[in-house]
Amino acid sequence: MTSFNMMNHYFVTSTGTDMGKTYVTAAMIRALRAQGRMAHAIKPLASGYDAAQAATSDAGMLLAAMGRAVSDEAIAAICPWRFAAPISPDMAAAREGKAIDMAAVIGFCQAAMAAAPGHLFIEGVGGAMVPLDAARTVRDWIAALGVSAVVIVGNYLGTISHTLCTLEALAAAQIAVAAVVVNEQGEGPVPVAETIAALRQHQGGLACPIVAVDAPGWLEWIGEQRPERD
């Protein structure tokens, strides 16, 4: 019988776009690989995709972190649904006369979960409440997979409210949060440690590790690697 070792599978989501999901996922992969652990990532849905910039696309950056060459085939294998318009994926798909086939997206993720040795990071798209079709958002995608979320947040004015709202939204769908990772892009209005302290104070019953990228021990919440099958 095949059973997923859910401990090794994480859905990387965020409070919104450009918070650093890809940057942090690449950093997690590199850090785990440097420890001799296996780590993979997929980015099933991407909008704003430009084949001429494949190397700097999310999928390209994730392939590089995995130590793999960037090619059209390699991109397609980890990022099968790519849309050109840099707008929410349901709208970007509609611009191309398409709709997102949620069952297919979920099936693709489940196949990757079954196949990937070691840790697997599934990068979402934008924030946790981004629409995927008329009825469903990224949150429904995470819930359908039954994996824990890793929530990447920024260190800007407003991040505490955005982060707490996102955690509440995930909790309302019974999605476990493995960790919140604070990613500072440029200098924030307060030190990252102060943002982390404020989040800890207000996270209440949603207790989970809150860490800064690359801080000592920042990946301690990631489980040990165990066999994928029994």
Select from 13, 22, 88, 195 the one that contacts ligand ATP (CB under 6 A). Answer: 22
Q: Number of residues interacting with ligand ATP: please give it, by CB under 6 A.
A: 14
- Considering the rule CB under 6 A, would residue 19 count as an interface residue with ligand ATP? yes
Q: Which is nearer to ligand ATP, 3 or 185 (CB)?
A: 185
d(CA 82, CA 94): 12
Q: Choose the catalytic residue: 21, 43, 82, 139.
A: 43
Q: Mapping DSSP to helix (H, G, I), strand (E, B) and coil, where does residue 8 land?
A: helix
Cα 120–Cα 122–Cα 123 angle in degrees, nearest 5 = 140
d(CA 200, CA 169): 17
Q: 43 an active-site residue?
A: yes
- Considering the rule CB under 6 A, would residue 50 count as an interface residue with ligand ATP? no
d(CA 82, CA 170): 26
Select from 8, 13, 14, 88 the one that contacts ligand ATP (CB under 6 A). Answer: 14
Q: Which is nearer to ligand ATP, 46 or 225 (CB)?
A: 46
Those residues whose C-beta lies under 8 Å from the C-beta of residue 24, and which sit 6 or more positions away, are 12, 150, 152, 181, 183, 213
Select from 21, 40, 82, 139 the one that contacts ligand ATP (CB under 6 A). Answer: 21
What is the smallest separation between the CB atom of 63 and ligand ATP, expressed in angstroms?
14
- Considering the rule CB under 6 A, would residue 58 count as an interface residue with ligand ATP? yes
Instruction: List own/partner pairs for 173-177 with CB under 8 A and 24 or more apart.
Output: 173/139, 173/140, 173/142, 173/143, 174/143, 175/139, 175/142, 175/143, 175/148, 175/149, 176/148, 176/149, 176/208, 177/148, 177/149, 177/150, 177/151, 177/206, 177/208
Those residues whose C-beta lies under 8 Å from the C-beta of residue 43, and which sit 6 or more positions away, are 22, 58, 59, 62, 78, 79, 123
- In contact, 223 and 212? CB cutoff 8 Å: no
- Considering the rule CB under 6 A, would residue 44 count as an interface residue with ligand ATP? no
What is the smallest separation between the CB atom of 112 and ligand ATP, expressed in angstroms?
18
- Considering the rule CB under 6 A, would residue 90 count as an interface residue with ligand ATP? no
What is the smallest separation between the CB atom of 136 and ligand ATP, expressed in angstroms?
18
Residues 175-204 that bind ligand ATP (CB under 6 A): 183-185
- C-beta nearest to Mg ion: residue: 22
- Considering the rule CB under 5 A, would residue 22 count as an interface residue with Mg ion? yes
- Considering the rule CB under 5 A, would residue 58 count as an interface residue with Mg ion? yes
Can you give the binding site for Mg ion, defined by CB under 5 A? Answer: 21-22, 58
Can you give the binding site for ligand ATP, defined by CB under 6 A? Answer: 14, 17-23, 58, 126, 183-185, 213
Which residues are known to be catalytic? Answer: 43
